[in-house]
Amino acid sequence: NAGVTQTPKFRVLKTGQSMTLLCAQDMNHEYMYWYRQDPGMGLRLIHYSVGEGTTAKGEVPDGYNVSRLKKQNFLLGLESAAPSQTSVYFCASSAYGREYGYTFGSGTRLTVV
């Protein structure tokens, strides 16, 4: 049982390049989330999904797009990377209902130069 798996774990991009971060969960969770973590800023929500085929904006969605074509996968795309997007990205999933916590992936450290 892998839980929540993120790929890649590390990546260096040049300004203007694009990339996709993949999150996969094997717990049959309905909800999935993408957060970014920067020093002193805590965990800020980028986008989330409450089910297959649905997505919604979080606190800091600009510059990112997402897709949830399959229940187990949640993709985060950067169309034109900027240095301000240098961060650690965490994916998380949770079961349906308000009283369930998150299971986080191990994170992706992204550097944009």
Q: Mind giving me the DSSP string for 44-75?
A: EEEEEESSTT--EE-SS-TTEEEE-SSTTEEE
Sorted by sequence, the CB contacts under 8 Å of residue 39 that are 6+ apart come out as none
Q: Least distance to another protein from the beta carbon of 8, Å? A: 15
Contact segment (CB under 8 A) with another protein among 12-20, 61-69, 77-85, 94-102 equals: 94-102
Is residue 26 within the footprint of another protein (CB under 8 A)? Answer: no
Phi, psi of 60 (to 5 degrees): -130, 65
Q: Per CB under 8 A, does 106 bind another protein?
A: yes
For another protein (CB under 8 A), the number of binding residues is 23
Torsion of CA 102, 70, 90, 95, to 10 degrees: 0
Calpha distance 11→7 (Å, rounded): 10
Q: Which is nearer to another protein, 50 or 82 (CB)?
A: 50
Q: Under rule CB under 8 A, which residues in 29-88 are in contact with another protein? A: 31, 33, 40-43, 45, 48, 50, 58
In the complex, which residues of this chain contact another protein (CB under 8 A)?
Answer: 31, 33, 40-43, 45, 48, 50, 58, 90, 96-107
